Amino acid sequence: MISAISLANYAVNGLVEGLLIALPALSLTLVMGIAGFANAATGDYMTVSAYAAVTMQKALAASLLLAAAGALAAGVALALLCHWLVFRPLARRPAVTSLVASIGVALLVRSVLTFFAGHDQQSIQTPLMRAWNFGGLRLLPTDLAVAGVAVGALLAVFALLHGTPIGRQMRAVADNPDLARASGIRARRVMLALWAMAGALCATGGVLYGVKAVIMPDLGWELLIAAFAAMVLGGIGNPGGAVLASVLLGLAQELSVPLVGPSYKIAVAFAALLLVLLARPRGLFGTALAAR
């Protein structure tokens, strides 16, 4: 029989992994809500940012903080570049066009990355610290840092969305693009803000992932499905929903390990998603969408 402490440990794992997924999930849902399509390149924005951090550490002997700042700049720059070159010209086309184009962007970004950086694994060097042990419940300082930064990033995004004029404009565009345009909100500024935010979220996620795990070229692509699932579970276009859903899916997944084992835990996450959608077909907080 499994002990409560053991369960608590699994729950902590799930919570941290969920918070990590919350960053790309939030990026996906913001882009979906405001720009209207699913950006399959989200994962590769994360990968590029992670590699940027590694490069700064190795080539410029930068501190962790400086490397993270470099990664942030890289992620934002990449997101804005792709918006300018690919997604802005496609703005008036059906959503599936942008989706397929974003798959193209993902492949192109990854291939440019591997052309120069190769296929070896990389690590972001951080000091190793022992876990704090509370009678069997282990908390890794690294995990706490990852969770803390993730929560901080999420709070910053929410503060921006609800407390600043540009944030209000972004939410207006998400709710009703035509009305927003009619009331004079300039799409261009909103889009720049959106992609900067999306890029920053991906960059944060990429660096945190790099600190916690190992960096390989497929890093972001592998996370994409989990992020997409979280976005849908939370209700497409709902930022709070995406974050909550990420955490819930992470918890469901890790808590199922003692029951079904590490391989089936991924199936459990999908089963949980399905059950919720059967009860609430628009996700936890989704509202009926206007015709797209």
Partner 1 sequence: MASYFVAVATISLIYMLLAMGLNLQYGHTGLINFGHVAFFAAGAYASALLSLAGWPLPASFLAAMIVAALLAWPIGLLALRLADDYLAIVTLGFSETLRIVLQEEGWLTGGVQGLPGIPGLFAGLGPDARGLATLGALALCNAVAFLLLRHLVRSPYGRLIRAIRDDQTAVQALGKSAARPKTRMFMLGAMLAGLAGAFYAHFIAFLSPEQFVPLVTFYVWIAVIIGGAGSMAGAAAGSVLLLAFLEGSRFLRDALPGVSEIQMASVRLAVVGLALILCMLYRPQGLFGRRKG
Partner 2 sequence: MTRIDETRRSVCLAGAALLGSALAPAAARAAQQDVFRIGALNSITGSGASYGPGMQKTILRAVSEINAAGGAGGRRLQVYAEDDQTKPEAAVLAAKKLLDVNRVQAILGTFSSGVTLAVMPLTNAAGAILMNTSGAPAITTQNVAGLSWRFEATNDRYGRAFAQAVAQGGFQRPAIMAFNNASGISNTQGFKTAWEARGGKVVASVVYEPNRPSYRSELQQILDAKPDVVVMGSYLPDTTLILREWYQSGQDVKWVMPGWAGNADLVKALGAEVCEGVRVVQTIANEGSPALAHFDEIYKAETGKDGSTSIYAAMCYDMVVTLALAMEAAGPGATTAQVNACIPKVAGGQGKPVDSFEAGREALKQGPVSYQGASSRLNFDASGDASPDFSISMIRGGEIVRQGRVSV
Q: Which residues bind partner 2 (CB under 8 A)?
A: 6, 9-10, 13-14, 16-17, 20, 114, 118-121, 123, 128-131, 133, 138, 140-142, 209, 212-214, 216-218, 222-223, 254, 257-258, 261-263, 265-266
Query: Positive or negative CA dihedral for 229, 218, 158, 39?
Result: negative
Nearer to partner 1 by Cβ, of 30 and 140: the residue is: 30
Residue 142 binding partner per list partner 2, partner 1, none, with a CB distance cut-off of 5 to 8 Å that depends on partner kind? partner 2
CB 230 within 8 Å of CB 242: yes
Nearest to 261 by CA among 4, 10, 9: 10
Among 46, 147, 236, 251, binds partner 1 (CB under 8 A): 236
Among 6, 111, 121, 123, binds partner 1 (CB under 8 A): 111
- Span from 9-17, 69-77, 97-105, 164-172 in contact with partner 1 (CB under 8 A): 97-105
CB of 45 to partner 2, least distance (A): 16
Q: In angstroms, what CA-CA distances link 218 with 165, 187, 253?
A: 37, 33, 22
Report H helices in the chain. 4-35, 42-59, 64-82, 95-117, 141-163, 165-175, 177-182, 187-212, 219-234, 239-255, 257-279
**Interacting positions 136-195 with partner 1 (CB under 8 A):** none
CA pair distance 111, 165, nearest whole angstrom: 38
Residue 90 binding partner per list partner 2, partner 1, none, with a CB distance cut-off of 5 to 8 Å that depends on partner kind? partner 1
Nearer to partner 2 by Cβ, of 263 and 288: the residue is: 263
Amino acid at the residue 6? S
CB of 186 to partner 1, least distance (A): 24
DSSP category for residue 134: E
Query: Is there binding between residue 229 and partner 1 (CB under 8 A)?
Result: yes
- Using CB under 8 A as the binding criterion, the count of chain residues that bind partner 1 stands at 46
Residue 13 binding partner per list partner 2, partner 1, none, with a CB distance cut-off of 5 to 8 Å that depends on partner kind? partner 2
| Cα 57 versus chain centre, distance | 23
CB 119 within 8 Å of CB 126: no
CB of 79 to partner 1, least distance (A): 15
The 3 state secondary structure assigned to 52-93 is: HHHHHHHHCCCCHHHHHHHHHHHHHHHHHHHHHHHHCCCCCC
Residues that bind partner 1 (CB under 8 A): 32, 38, 86, 89-90, 93-94, 96-98, 100-101, 103-112, 114-115, 118-119, 225, 228-229, 232, 236, 263-264, 266-267, 269-271, 273-274, 277-278, 281-283, 289
